[in-house]
Amino acid sequence: MAGGGFDIVSKFQDGGPVMWPILGLSVLAVAFTIERYIILFIQKAKLKPDKFLEALDASMRKNNGDKAKVADELEALCKKRGGVCADIMLEGLRKFKMVKGMNMGIFELKQWLNSAIEERARIALPQLESHMVFISIAATVAPLLGLFGTVVGMVQSFEVLASSAGGAKPDELAGGIAIALITTVGGLVVAMPSLIFFNMIKTSVENYVMLVEEAGVTLIDTLIS
């Protein structure tokens, strides 16, 4: 304690050895939260679903509805920009180019193409969610470590009581109580934001993939009509 203020270093030390793995989990959660947000930002910046649809509309007008030329232009755009959205759209465009030799009705063709896009989206989703497991681990394990520290602290306090014939003084129990309380707080401080960020990132990924899939449906409806 310095000048009556809150000394986080001394509190950390009072929490005992259990605070170190809790600190490690906090570093892990922060690092992979930042990493996922950077990856998502980069992916969204490469080719946005709304920009792809704008390019689709512009290409249709430019080529007077010549869908073969439209598909070629969009394929070139996707290869140039890259990213998850481009990969999913490319799958639909590749399948579209195979349509000519197939004896299917419009409904069957749309269903086949949409299935291809959905399958590609299912492959892309785990790529965007990669490393999120480490944030989930931090959110799950940190409070358990806090609980472990609580048990260790209580055991330490009871040992002091048991070894003191005339009754333990409050300052003799303080060490164990400090470990119990500080580790509990430390575990919760790490777990709560980790859980919040995990769900925020997961929701952001799912919403992005949903927008890409919707763009894919619009692409198929435009090309197969």
- The model's pLDDT over 114-165, given as tens digits with 9 standing for 90+, comes to 898 888 888 887 888 888 999 999 999 999 999 999 988 888 777 776 676 5
Please, are residues 120 and 91 in contact by the beta-carbon 8 Å criterion? yes
pLDDT averaged over every residue in the chain: 87
Other Cβ atoms less than 10 A from the Cβ of 104: the count is 12
Asked whether residue 1 carries a pLDDT value surpassing 60, the answer given is no
Please, are residues 89 and 52 in contact by the beta-carbon 8 Å criterion? yes
Q: What is the CA radius of gyration of the chain?
A: 28
Q: State whether residue 45 is helix, strand or coil.
A: helix
What is the rounded average pLDDT of the residues 32-40? 94
**Residue 168 DSSP symbol:** -
The larger pLDDT score, comparing residue 106 to residue 72, is at 72
Residue 185, amino acid: V
Q: Supply the pLDDT for residue 179.
A: 83
> What pTM, to 2 d.p., does this model score?
0.81
Q: Is 133 exposed, middle or buried (0-12, 13-18, 19+ CB in 10 A)?
A: exposed
The CA angle 42-45-51, to the nearest 5 degrees, is 155
